[in-house]
Amino acid sequence: MERVKIALAGNPNAGKTTLFNAVTGARQHVGNYPGITVEKKEGFARVDGTEFHILDLPGTYSLTAYTQEELVARDALVDERPGVVVGVLNAAALERNLYLAVQILEMGLPLALALNMMDEARKQGLTVDAARLGELLGCPVVETVARTGEGVGELLRAAAGHARATGGVRAPLDISYGPDLDPVLARMVARIQEEGFLAGRHPARWLALKYLEADEQVLAAGRAAGPLAAELEGMAERVADHCQRTLRTSPEAIIADSRYGFIASLLRQGVLTRPDGPSRADFSDMLDRVLTHRVAGPLGMLGVLLAVYWATFTLGEHPMRWVEALFGLLAGAADAALPDGLLKSLVVSGVIDGVGGVMGFVPLIMLMFLFIAFLEDSGYMARIAYMLDRVFRIFGLHGCSVMPFIVSGGIAGGCAVPGVMAARTLRSPREKLATLLTAPFMTCGAKLPVFLLLTGVFFPGAEATALFLITLGAWAAALLVARLLRSTVIKGPSTPFVMELPPYRLPTLRGMLIHTWERTWQYIKKAGTVILAISVLLWAAMTFPQLPRERAAMYAAEREALAARAADPGLDQAARQLLAERLALVDNTEREAALRHSLAGRTGAALETITAPAGFEWRTNIALVGGFAAKEVIVSTLGTAYSLGETDPEDAKPLADRLRVDPHWSRLHAVALIVFIMLYAPCFVTVVAIRSEAGSWRWAAFSVVFNTALAYALAVAVFQGGRLLALG
């Protein structure tokens, strides 16, 4: 059977992904390019007995070496050797969309064009002569409407035909770059051909152009390839100097201008006809007048953000319970089926509780991605960035940073796992990193019970005010730390904002569902691998070393003695009750002793000297160590450490009573602890999410170390400062 490999290229918002979904349906696979977070999408389709292997390149406006997306797209075009490239064009903005197409033609790749969104173009009164465009560029041009599937089959047939006809190579398109560049280009091409410089990989003229553009990737590859590189760089520098002196411009600018000039003359040759008179105000412009209005815009945005937050956590609550219940059942079954001992403890506490806790997030993640897909595909996300950019830029962030912050718990009760994943919409690497590292400061749903417990005990009657202040504090911390990071470890100028505000469109349900499912599935796969491993490690740290045999035997003997007394048939109800309570006390004391004896417990105790300046004693330390597994664990571990047995995080009453009367605790202790919990290392699920969004373990490790150090410094400052002011 004939196989054709197609690379799908196009501008963002040109409908490339919609076309990809329309062509491949469910036959697609999403992964990441190694080491970076750009998604790699592949899919398959069969039309008329031809099997198509389709590679969906990241959406780009150009093919420079400035962004990861463009580098990935460019490398894929060179390395994957597609039989034909399909360029997806938004017919309503043909001029800019052809800019990428022209660059692909300059690379000497066979190109078939999809004139997509013809329906929108027609509505604007534009007429595009597809046949004429194809004739001028020497490639097939097919009108499509990817949303409805119109023209998709024809496009694939045309692409396959073009691949067959060209055999995967064609003469590169030659554009004139004017009297200043053409002569030097010709000399460079001649030299490149003489020496066979980087031959077979790139056409000579394309290479020469990249030298004139001072493209970093090509310059580096050239230096490794041979001595001609120095000569070419010299020629490029001289012409750059000349352009600067005589024209006050750069070769790079001349090249871009010439490409657009070429496109403009192409369109004037009967390809594009615009309606006479002023263009009708289009639907998007009218919507924008309301949605980005000075007053109505921000209010509407606040409403939308609140709605996304509310819907995610309200709708997610029940499915989350079901998932938890399912894992509860599993744990119960394992509990009944396995004999008491280490294996049972590993399976129940390490594997099922660990993975279950992580899978509990799945409903939240699905919903959050569904809403974000809606906001992105509809075009509203770009407006959010547009409206908020001025504020977030002050802190070295991007307008799009707002979504990760809010989902993480910018409105108390969120979750940093989907929050960190929401940072995927950020295309500026430095701004994205700063967002990833600071979003976990927000008050997530798992930190809430701790805050509720502490504020309830130490600030009775003022819980609401205290929580509000905590939420504000988290925002202040996130923004200020972002500013700090952006002027130190993630230093660098802000990434240019220059961004398209795409026309408003109603997203397709299919596109949103595919998008949501892909992201969710990646998360689920992670739960089964990395997260499972870490969960088992944490279980081991809280279990080993076990209590020495004689101490375990001591507790067993006590229990037996109590059980023997309870077996006495002559006991009355009250005595029985008393014995049961004493039995529970023995269990709790043993649990506390075992935890104290474990690696986690010893760490907590050993840390006491370090944490004393912040006012934490060893019990708190153990709880904080446990909080790395999941912040919910802080309350339950505090409960265990205070020998109260299985403390339900939702119902912290008995622990609260205990803290209220404990002489060690004061308001100042509570405030220092709140500050620490707000800021310290994200839970490990979040750390894993940060790793995959930032693309390296280095930043994930940084978030653990840096956040903990910061939290410690501030907690100490609060505690010691309070002491000095005699507040404690």
Partner 1 sequence: MPQPLRLRELKVGQRAVIHTVSAQGELGRRIRDMGLVPGTEVEVVGRAPLKDPVALRMKGFTLSLRNNEADYVLVNLAPGAAG
User: From the CB of 501, what's the least distance to partner 1, in Å?
Assistant: 4
Tell the burial category of 232 from Cβ atoms under 10 Å away from its Cβ (0-12, 13-18, 19+).
Answer: buried
Indicate the residue among 382 and 477 with the shorter CB distance to partner 1. 382
Nearer to partner 1, 126 or 671 (CB): 126
What whole-number distance in Å separates Cα of residue 113 and Cα of residue 86? Answer: 6
Q: What angle do CA 122, 123, 125 make, to 5 degrees?
A: 65
Q: Which of 122, 242, 344, 393 binds partner 1 (CB under 8 A)?
A: 393
Verify binding: residue 93, partner 1, rule CB under 8 A: yes
Q: Which is nearer to partner 1, 249 or 465 (CB)?
A: 249
Nearer to partner 1, 183 or 298 (CB): 298
User: In whole angstroms, what is the distance from residue 133 CA to residue 113 CA?
Assistant: 10
Q: How far is the CB of 409 from partner 1 (least distance, A)?
A: 25
Contacts of 60 (CB under 8 A, 6+ apart): 9, 11, 12, 67, 69, 70, 73, 100
Interface with partner 1 includes 386 (CB under 8 A)?
yes
DSSP string, 706-728: HHHHHHHHHHHHHHHHHHHTT--
Helix (H) or strand (E) holding 56: strand 50-56
Residues 125-164 contacting partner 1, CB under 8 A: 126
Which residue lies nearer to partner 1 by CB, 230 or 391? 391
Q: How far is the CB of 26 from partner 1 (least distance, A)?
A: 32
CB of residue 311 to partner 1, shortest distance in Å:
25
Smaller CB separation from partner 1, 200 or 496: 496
Question: Any contact of residue 499 with partner 1 (CB under 8 A)?
Answer: yes
Out of 80, 335, 500, 648, the only residue in the binding site for partner 1 (CB under 8 A) is 500
Beta bridge mates, 56: 8, 41
Among 37, 124, 217, 522, binds partner 1 (CB under 8 A): 124
Residue from the set 52, 61, 369, 395 that interacts with partner 1 by CB under 8 A: 61
Question: Closest by alpha carbon to 497, among 372, 405, 397, 378?
Answer: 397
720 binds partner 1 (CB under 8 A): no
Of the listed pieces 219-227, 382-390, 629-637, 658-666, which binds partner 1 according to CB under 8 A? 382-390
Is residue 508 within the footprint of partner 1 (CB under 8 A)?
no
Alpha-carbon span 624 to 645, nearest angstrom: 17
From candidates 55, 86, 92, 229, binder to partner 1 by CB under 8 A = 92
Which one of the spans 326-334, 387-395, 468-476, 627-635 is the region binding partner 1 (CB under 8 A)?
A: 387-395
- 282: closest CA among 501, 17, 130, 60? 501
Binders of partner 1 among residues 259 to 298 (CB under 8 A) are 260, 284-285, 288-289, 292-295, 297-298
Alpha carbons 655 and 651: distance in angstroms, whole number: 9
Range in contact with partner 1 (rule: CB under 8 A) among 256-264, 304-312, 407-415, 584-592: 256-264
Residue 684: partners with Cβ closer than 8 Å, 6 or more residues away: 531, 534, 535, 538, 628, 629
Which tokens go with 646? 């299985």
The C-alpha atoms of residue 674 and residue 697 are separated, in whole angstroms, by 28
405: phi > 0 → left, psi -120 to 50 → alpha, else beta; which? alpha
Nearest to 29 by CA among 1, 53, 5, 60: 53
Q: Which is nearer to partner 1, 203 or 379 (CB)?
A: 379
Which is closer to partner 1, CB of 238 or CB of 274?
274
Residue spans of beta strands (DSSP E) within 144-218: none
Token pair 């003489």: residue: 194
If one asks whether residue 377 binds partner 1 (CB under 8 A), the answer comes out as no
Cβ atoms of residues 260 and 95 within 8 Å: yes
Contact between residue 649 and residue 638 where contact means Cβ atoms under 8 Å apart: no
Which three-class secondary structure state does DSSP give residue 46?
strand
Nearer to partner 1, 382 or 600 (CB): 382
Stretch in the footprint of partner 1 (CB under 8 A) among 130-138, 160-168, 390-398, 626-634:
390-398
* Cβ at position 39, least distance to partner 1 in Å: 21
Comparing CA positions, the residue from 350, 289, 255 lying closest to residue 64 is 255
Distance of CA 515 to the CA centre of its chain: 13
Closer CB to partner 1, 98 or 448, in the complex:
98
Q: Scanning residues 458 to 497, which ones bind partner 1 (CB under 8 A)?
A: 495-497
* 55 strand-pairing partners: 7, 42
> At 43, is the secondary structure helix, strand, or coil?
strand
The answer to the question of residue 245 lying near partner 1 (CB under 8 A) is: no
Tell me, by CB under 8 A, how many residues bind partner 1: 46
66 vs 521 by CB, closer to partner 1: 66
Question: SS3 for 10?
Answer: strand
- Report the Cα 547 to chain-centroid distance in Å: 43
Identity of the residue, 94 or 104, whose beta carbon is nearer to partner 1 in the bound complex: 94
Of 391, 489, 533, 553, the residue at the interface with partner 1 (CB under 8 A) is: 391
Q: Which of 42, 182, 252, 662 binds partner 1 (CB under 8 A)?
A: 252
Q: Based on the shown chain and the rule CB under 8 A, indicate whether residue 378 belongs to the binding site for partner 1.
A: no
11 vs 226, 398, 406, 473, 477, CA distance in Å? 35, 21, 29, 40, 37
Q: Which of 259, 597 has the CB closer to partner 1?
A: 259
The H-or-E segment that residue 4 falls in is strand 2-10
- Binding of residue 66 to partner 1 (CB under 8 A): yes
Residue 257 near partner 1 by CB under 8 A = yes
What does the binding site for partner 1 look like in residue numbers (CB under 8 A)?
A: 61-62, 64, 66, 90, 92-96, 99, 124, 126, 249-250, 252-253, 256-257, 260, 284-285, 288-289, 292-295, 297-298, 382, 386-387, 389-391, 393, 495-503
